Amino acid sequence: MAPILELKKITKVYGEGENRVVAVDSVSLSLKRQEMLLIMGPSGSGKTTLLSMMGCILRPTSGEVIIDGHTVSMGKTAHSPYEDVMPDIRKQYFGFVFQSFNLFPSLTAVDNVSLILRLKKHDGKKLQADARRLIERFGLAKRGDFYPADMSGGEKQRVALARALAGDPPIILADEPTANLDSKTGLDVLRHLRELSEEEQKAIVIVSHDPKAETMADRVVFLEDGKIRNQETGDQR
Amino acid sequence: MYWLAIKTLFYEKGRLIITLIGIVFSTVLSLTQVSMYLGLIGNATAIIRHVDADIWIVSKNAQNFDFANPFPEERINRVKALSNVIRADKMILTWGFLKLANGGQEQVQIIGFNPDTGTGAPWNMISGSAADVKGGRYMIIDRTSEQRLGDLRVNTIWELNGRRFKLVGISQGIKSFTTSPIIFMSYLKAQQFFRETSSQKLASYIVAKVKDEGGIVETVEYLKAAMRDNDVFTRDDFVYKTVMYWTVQTGMGMGFFLTAVLGLIVGGAIVGQTVYANTMEHLREFGTLKALGARNSDIYKVIFAQTGISAVAGYTIGSVLILLAKDGIEKAGVSLYLSAGLFLILFFVILITCILSAYFSVRKVRTLDPVMVFRM
């Protein structure tokens, strides 16, 4: 199966001269549909920077990001309409799950999901019904009209999962999705992500310190000082 | 994105109320200042605009309608002699003291007009008719003077400069810029006030109606050359001169203008500050939106839509408040000129002020890096 996401010698450098910091150093990775990849590593190892570049939110200093066979990023010396095309690529290919949920407090659970459908220009008449269906898929049928302030952390993260799934993107990127949840709820969220990978052929990338995530992932990449130190597949663990 | 703008705007009711207060304040202050100015200017030029005449001949260097000096009335013959003039009339403007029922007296503006032709006569009569002043010491007073003169009833006798006049009519809504009550009477009776100080027959204005409006400029130029002791204006020019006198030479217009601008600045600052604070508080959400694929233009739509909705709502509330207060304000003696045109113009001024205030928020969003969503 051809990879849906491929990184080729991706590097991100911040600052210049004495302040130059190499956050990610020539990392190459690939990710297939139905695969769940976990990126682990100590704080400052470059996990989030790598995830940002994978999701076309952060422009790499050099290297290539290839999505579904199309190269979407180039080094800083090349002329590239990066900021022009990236929003559409993010909309088309990615769903995001954040550590702090990042839900809109002024929108109900259903509206938080329908916002993304609106952003992706889905059929206006079906928007609310589609959003409600996604909310129900994550067991929140009775909480659809609640605002985030009236929901638990686990419920908020499930709304975030529903939002990530809105518009049916092939890749879901999750940044520390269990960090603000208790152990049981965190496990629940990881199971949902696993289900999305297996049942809906989503490619999932999780950045996490959570040891429970290791047992769920198909592959674990250990990052240190911006470089891949080690990669393990499920069979090797 | 307009959907998100509306949802967010009405979710945060406290913030919305603060924004609306700013815009309502700005609307009320600007509308009152501009409408008061226009009301005063309207009063200052009311008689010029209502007299059916194309040309006004006034004393030399007269600055405005209210401060004309008398000149010999026979000069009307030079005007009547022109082939392009179909009608010419004399008018008088002078001042007197009206004795009040309580023993006090009030300075009044006296307008003398020809009751046969009606040139210079009061309009909006609510009691009696303009022609009733003919043939005796009869006068017409405007209802708006009641606050200063007391109850006005026709057929009552009043003492003006020691002479008894009978009130034969009441008009409605005729005021002078000077705020002095206006008394209309026949030209001949008004002229008698000049006779106290001069043996000559004097007039304050000669007004003329021309046959061919296309030839009005030539007629005015001819009269200027022929009547070197007078100033000659078209009606529009005399209105303009009067407006400019009260607006520029007295500084009054500048005062109103500055207060209106101050209202816009304060209102705009409140709106700008609220919108900016709102944007700063929602940076995380805007960053999330960008990360999820929204373009800057999508977020600008949210900010501008919220600002626009606030501007429309605030302006509507402010306008309704002004309309509700209009009668009360006018009863207190202040004229407000409120027209559809004024409401429309000020709406766009307020809207543009609000949109400009939102510009700083837009600038913040433009430089917002969506990577921030992973750092919070």
Contact A96 B375 (CB under 8 A): no
Q: How far is B370 from A52, CA to CA, in rounded Å?
A: 9
Phi, psi of B206 (to 5 degrees): -120, 125
What is the pLDDT at residue A13? 92
What are B331's two structure tokens?
A: 């009863």
Residue A45 touches partner B, C-beta closer than 8 Å: no
% of residues, chain A, pLDDT over 90 = 42
% of residues, chain B, pLDDT over 70 = 99
Contact B288 A98 (CB under 8 A): yes
What is the pLDDT at residue A235? 63
What are B89's two structure tokens?
A: 């009339």
Report the amino acid identity of residue B57. Answer: I
How many angstroms away from the CA of B37 is the closest CA of chain A?
44
Long-range contacts at A119-124 (CB < 8 A, ≥ 24 apart): A119/A91, A119/B289, A119/B292, A119/B293, A119/B294, A119/B298, A120/A91, A120/A166, A120/A167, A120/B293, A122/A167
Q: If you average pLDDT over every residue of chain B, what do you get? A: 89
Higher pLDDT, A112 or B285: A112
Q: How far is B367 from B286, CA to CA, in rounded Å?
A: 11
Partner residues linked to A122 by β-bridges? none
State the distance between the two ends of chain A, measured CA to CA, in whole angstroms.
23
Closest residue in B to A107 (Cα–Cα): B7
Q: Residues 6 or more apart from A39 whose CB is under 8 A from it? A: A47, A50, A51, A205, A206, A207, A208, A220, A221, A223
User: Measured between beta carbons, which residues in chain A are less than 8 angstroms from residue B11?
Assistant: 105-107
Contact B291 A111 (CB under 8 A): no
Contact B373 A106 (CB under 8 A): no
Strands in A219-224's sheet, in edge-to-edge order, are A94-97, A171-175, A203-207, A36-40, A219-224, A227-233
Contact B292 A52 (CB under 8 A): no
CB atoms within 10 A of CB B327: 10
Torsion of CA A154, A155, A157, A159, to 10 degrees: 170
Q: How far is B188 from B51, CA to CA, in rounded Å?
A: 18
Contact A106 B3 (CB under 8 A): no
User: Measured between beta carbons, which residues in chain B are less than 8 angstroms from residue A57?
Assistant: 291, 370-371, 373-374
- Is residue A80 over pLDDT 70? no
Residue A155 touches partner B, C-beta closer than 8 Å: no
Contact A52 B374 (CB under 8 A): yes
What are A187's two structure tokens?
A: 């496990």
Residue with tokens 């022609």: B131
Contact A211, A222 (CB under 8 A): no
When pLDDT is cut at 50, 70 and 90, the band that residue B268 belongs to is confident
Higher pLDDT, A68 or A125: A68
- Is residue B181 over pLDDT 80? yes
Domain boundaries, chain A: 5-75+82-236
Fold (topology level) of A5-75+82-236 = Rossmann fold (3.40.50)
When pLDDT is cut at 50, 70 and 90, the band that residue A236 belongs to is low
pLDDT 10s digits, B209-240: 999 888 899 999 999 999 999 999 999 999 99
Angle, CA B21 vertex, CA B19 and CA B23 arms, to 5°: 70
Domain boundaries, chain B: 2-43+251-374, 61-228
pLDDT 10s digits, A162-202: 999 898 899 999 998 888 888 888 888 889 889 888 888 99
Contact B295 A87 (CB under 8 A): yes
Chain A residues 166-185 with a CB less than 8 Å from chain B: 175
Strands in A5-14's sheet, in edge-to-edge order, are A21-31, A5-14, A62-67, A70-71
Torsion of CA B42, B48, B52, B58, to 10 degrees: -170
Residue A59 touches partner B, C-beta closer than 8 Å: no
Contact B373 A55 (CB under 8 A): no
CA B62 from chain centre, in angstroms, equals: 22
SS3 content of chain A, % helix, strand, coil (to 5): 40, 25, 35
Residue with tokens 């040891």: A211
Closest CA to B145 of B115, B112, B171: B171
How many angstroms away from the CA of B293 is the closest CA of chain A?
4
Q: Which of the residues A85, A92, A102, A113 would you substitute to probe the B interface, choosing the one with the greatest number of B C-beta atoms within 10 Å?
A: A102
- How does DSSP assign B143-192, residue by residue? GGGHHHH----TT-EEEETTEEEEEEEEESS---TT-PPEEEEEHHHHHH
What is the pLDDT at residue A237? 58
How many angstroms away from the CA of A180 is the closest CA of chain B?
12
Closest CA to B267 of B21, B26, B18: B26
How many angstroms away from the CA of A59 is the closest CA of chain B?
10
Can you tell me the mean pLDDT for B345-363?
A: 85
When pLDDT is cut at 50, 70 and 90, the band that residue B336 belongs to is confident
Can you tell me the mean pLDDT for A99-115?
A: 92
Partner residues linked to B95 by β-bridges? B109
Which residues of B lie closer than 8 Å to A, measured between beta carbons? Answer: 1, 3-4, 7-8, 11-12, 284-285, 288-295, 298, 370-371, 373-376
- How many CB contacts within 8 angstroms connect chain A with chain B? 64
What are B69's two structure tokens?
A: 């000096």
User: Measured between beta carbons, which residues in chain B are less than 8 angstroms from residue A112?
Assistant: none
